[in-house]
A and B are shown apart, each in its own frame.
Chain A
Amino acid sequence: MSTADLAHDAGHHDDHGPMKGWRRWVYSTNHKDIGTMYLIFALIMLFLGGASAMAIRAELMYPGLQLLDPDTYNNILTNHALIMIFGAVMPAAAGLANWMIPLMIGAPDMALPRMNNLSFWMLPAAATMLVLSFLVPFFGMGSQINTGWTIYPPLSIKVGPAMDFLIFAIHALGISSVLASINIIVTIFNMRAPGMKMMNLPMFVWTWLITAFLLILVVPVLAGGVTMLLFDRHFGTSFFDAAGGGDPVLFQHLFWFFGHPEVYVLLLPSIGVLSMVIPTFARKPLFGYHSLVGSMLFLAVLGMVVWAHHQYTIGMSLAAVNYFMIGTILISIPVGLMKFNFIATMWRGSMTFETPMLFAISIIIMFIFGGLTGVMLAVIPADMQYHDSMFVVAHFHYVLLPGAVLALFAGVFYWLPKWTGNMYNERLGKWFFWTNILGFNLTFFVQHFLGLAGMPRRIVDYNVQFAEFNFVSSIGAFIFGLSHLLFLYIIIQTIRGKGTVKAEARAWEGAKGLEWEVASPPPFHTWETPPQTQNGMLVSR
């Protein structure tokens, strides 16, 4: 009998199992159900953001205007970024957190289950406003949002009502993120199983703890910034309006004080996923646990004080830009340390190459590539050349796609057997991996050369000298985009369980941790009786 069955036998909760029908989801306070809703929401947003990416690449396939007028192109570009960051990656990471953190620390649920429900249900409302910000200009309500996701004034002050929808969407998304973060912090500090000390926490839990603190520290700053923007637009203030004594550059500081740590908000949970996947498939404990925790804390602190490297060209003092340059280059130390920890974990391990491990290894390679171009961009004289070029687009896609999105895919493949009770089709998983990686590299590798040759980013049309590489990039993007249909198929097939093998409680031979001690799929309630643990491992139930 599994642990979960034992916990289930307690019997005292049988009268409050899942509600039937839609009530189960709308009123849910169960961390697994809310985690599932986060993940489904993120998947829908991934396809919406992906569709906008396809539109962008279809337009850029050839020089000249093909499908979109310049305003619509800019509008789609803005929405692509916002949907992917706020709609897809953050909710997907929150979904993993909801599902896995209570299971990993031996808690029956999140510390604040009703707030958990609120955190999730703010998201569809926010996403609706976000999509409306894209749509309302087509119904004659003012101009389209042509600012990009950075929504810099003075342009963002001049945009029509669509910008107000966007500002309120950002507010709602921010509140949702902060509430979820509070829940995660409080859960980790108060709900750990007896015997589980902070330095016994699974690395995924550590990464989310640091991420949650980062979110609470920086999201309110963005909220403050966009509120000031709202006041400039409607209530006669001039925080960012030079004509009234304000300063548009001020908004850039506020935005990037949020925006740069946001990169680590997207990256850290994914590093947590890799820290779980690599030891499992290398069949070795994670190398340098303490140093990894230390490097993540260092990364989080450093990430909060280097924001103005996004703004080298605004005319800061030499002392200021030097500080930001040195600080930014220092980031390569904790990141490099993490990568060495992962490589050392694999070293002389008994490795197998299932889909999550394939993703993990490819992420290490591609993320190093994105990191190296990051160091190039951190160097002020070089950045003056690269700034606002396609080189920057290539850089941050090499950081965020492997570092955030692909790592989340690794996590989904890793934990899908736990969630559904079925093993996914490994052959299809590998097909997805290879088409995904091929498409991704084909899309973005050539964009480095486009940028170095002088092609600016955020433009709808370009000189014919850039035609060949843009054509290659678009073909890669279509392969990359289509590969996600296979991802969707694999997930549906695994959930339905037709033609799949049943997963055991410990779905992977090398997997360790409390989450693998409960049945696959876990029952509705788990760890109602806190398990006794030692060094993070189960001692008694």
Chain B
Amino acid sequence: MDDAARKRRIRFMAWGLVVFAVLIAISSIRFWSNLAKIALP
């Protein structure tokens, strides 16, 4: 893999993980709350 391709892959992965983390944080407010409420009263 050349350096430019590696750089693109690093950026893609890093931004992907940032978006993933933010989505988990946001979804925890709704999804995890609801799951915990329904499944584990």
Contact = CB atoms under 8 A, between A and B. Distances in A.
Contact of B10 (A186, A247, A308): A186
- What is the predominant secondary structure among interface residues of chain A facing chain B? helix
A250 B28 contact: no
Given A112-B14, A182-B14, A186-B13, A220 B32 contact: no
B10 A182 contact: no
| Number of chain A interface residues as a range | 20 to 34
Contact of B28 (A185, A216, A224): A224
A250 B36 contact: yes
A320 B21 contact: no
Contact of B17 (A185, A224, A257): A185
A29 to B, nearest CB: 15
Nearest to A189: B13
Given A182-B14, A250-B36, A308-B40, A219 B29 contact: no
Contacts, number: 75
A505 B27 CA distance: 49
B25 to A, nearest CB: 4
| Number of chain B interface residues as a range | 20 to 34
Contact of A216 (B21, B26, B33): B21
A257 B29 contact: no
Contacts of A219: 21
25 contacts: A112-B14, A178-B18, A182-B17, A183-B14, A185-B17, A186-B14, A190-B10, A190-B13, A216-B24, A219-B21, A220-B21, A221-B24, A221-B28, A223-B25, A224-B32, A225-B28, A227-B25, A228-B33, A239-B33, A253-B32, A254-B28, A257-B28, A316-B41, A317-B40, A320-B39
Interface of B: 6, 9-10, 13-14, 17-18, 20-22, 24-29, 32-33, 36-37, 39-41
Given A183-B14, A228-B29, 7 more contacts: A111-B10, A182-B14, A182-B17, A185-B17, A221-B25, A247-B37, A317-B41
